[in-house]
């Protein structure tokens, strides 16, 4: 389907202006041929007949700063989606059905490209993005004509009621539309050579935390090495495989290696941990849980 829109957008616009106007019967026949037979020539005629509509709708969104060619491309995408989902047997004209898909495709594009920070994607956010300025201007005119004072909180409440969205969404969209994107590498005014990125708080641990952490790790490793000396070679192997490995072995796997049953390996593991606990408590006054917190 995508190859039907591959010509340059200038030629698409020219062809759209010269495209045939379809009557209801022809339109239905073309839609059925595409739906039932995947006839791409029928799809091309149907889409090109309504590219004029798509271009007209795209032109209404030029005030948002997007290139007209991109808007036409997105309108064409919406038109193609409409053609792929249209059911000609429902008795609705294709133009009526396509308007929603064209509008949705253009609006999604405008909102994706309005800011580096995503402006919003919910239905209420989209309604606010495309209608808040218009509704605000209308309400301000009405209040001014009545001689009423423009109170920001009251105005937000009126906007929320007019558009049918929560007032918190109005406040959030106001903040997003009022700001603008800027580089964190831009220099602060009055701070020669100082960039905004330098004001961001470091999420990493501080020097004191790092030193304390390293001290705890060293102490825990020393305790562990000492506790392991209380074990037999087989017990050390089991503890390393079961407790210290990045990918711990199962009791069954260890049993196969040692020619022991799973239950016997489990017993040896419990026995080894008891020995280690006794060693830690006797020599360092520490417990295995304290050792685990240090590691």
Fold of the CATH domain 207-294: Arc Repressor Mutant, subunit A (1.10.10)
List pLDDT tens digits, range 27-86.
Answer: 999 999 999 999 999 998 898 899 988 998 888 888 777 788 888 989 989 999 999 899
* Tokens encoding 99: 């308007």
Q: What is the pTM of this model?
A: 0.44
Instruction: Kindly indicate the confidence band of residue 114, based on its pLDDT and cuts at 50, 70 and 90.
Output: low
Provide the strand spans (E) within 141-186: none
- pLDDT higher at 164 or 125: 164
Backbone angles phi and psi of 195, in degrees to 5: -95, 160
DSSP string, 75-102: HHHHHHHHHHH--GGG---HHHHHHHHH
- For residues 294 and 217, the answer to whether their CB atoms sit within 8 Å is yes
Output b/e per residue, 136-150; b: 16+ Cβ within 10 A: beebeeebeeeeeee
Highest mean pLDDT among 7-16, 129-138, 202-211: 129-138
Residue 208 has pLDDT above 70, yes or no: no
H or E element in which residue 269 lies: helix 262-283
pLDDT at 134: 77
Residues ≥6 apart with Cβ < 8 Å to 254 = 238, 241, 242, 260, 265
* Tokens encoding 51: 């590219």
For residues 265-279, give the mean pLDDT. 89
Q: Spell out the domain ranges in the chain.
A: 2-114, 123-178, 207-294
Residues ≥6 apart with Cβ < 8 Å to 115 = 176, 180, 181
Phi-psi region of 193 (alpha: psi -120 to 50; beta: other; left: phi over 0): left
Would you say domain 2-114 falls under CATH 1.20.120.1810? yes
List pLDDT tens digits, range 139-183.
Answer: 778 877 777 777 777 778 888 887 787 777 777 777 666 555 444
* Tokens encoding 44: 């091309």
* Tokens encoding 275: 């020995």
Single out the residue of 79, 106, 76 nearest to residue 11, CA to CA: 76
Choose the weakest-confidence range: 12-21, 102-111, 204-213, 248-257: 204-213
Q: Count CB-CB contacts under 10 A for residue 155.
A: 16
């Amino acid at each position: 389907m995508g190859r039907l829109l591959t010509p340059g957008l200038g030629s698409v616009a020219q062809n759209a202006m010269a495209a045939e106007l379809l009557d209801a019967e022809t339109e239905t026949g073309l839609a059925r041929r595409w739906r039932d037979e995947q006839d791409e020539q029928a799809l091309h005629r149907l889409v090109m007949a309504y590219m004029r509509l798509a271009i007209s709708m795209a032109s209404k969104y030029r005030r948002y700063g997007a290139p007209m060619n991109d808007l036409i491309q997105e309108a064409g995408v919406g038109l193609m989606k409409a053609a792929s989902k249209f059911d000609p047997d429902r008795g609705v004209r294709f133009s009526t059905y396509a308007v929603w898909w064209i509008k949705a495709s253009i609006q999604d594009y405008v909102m994706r490209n309005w800011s580096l920070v995503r402006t919003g994607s919910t239905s209420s956010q989209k309604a606010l993005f495309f209608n808040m300025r218009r509704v605000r201007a209308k309400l301000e005119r009405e209040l001014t004509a009545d001689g009423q004072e423009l109170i920001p909180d009251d105005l937000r409440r009126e906007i929320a009621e007019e558009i049918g969205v929560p007032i918190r969404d109005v406040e959030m969209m106001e903040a997003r539309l009022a700001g603008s994107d800027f580089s964190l590498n831009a220099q602060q005014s009055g701070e020669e050579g100082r960039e905004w990125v330098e004001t961001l708080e470091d999420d990493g641990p501080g020097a004191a935390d790092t030193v304390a952490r390293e001290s705890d790790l060293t102490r825990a490793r020393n305790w562990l090495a000492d506790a392991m000396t209380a074990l037999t070679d087989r017990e050390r192997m089991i503890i390393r495989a079961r407790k210290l490995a990045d990918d711990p072995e199962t009791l069954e796997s260890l049993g196969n290696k040692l020619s022991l049953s799973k239950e016997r390996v489990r017993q040896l593991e419990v026995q080894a941990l008891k020995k280690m606990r006794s060693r830690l408590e006797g020599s360092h006054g520490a417990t295995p849980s304290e050792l685990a917190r240090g590691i």
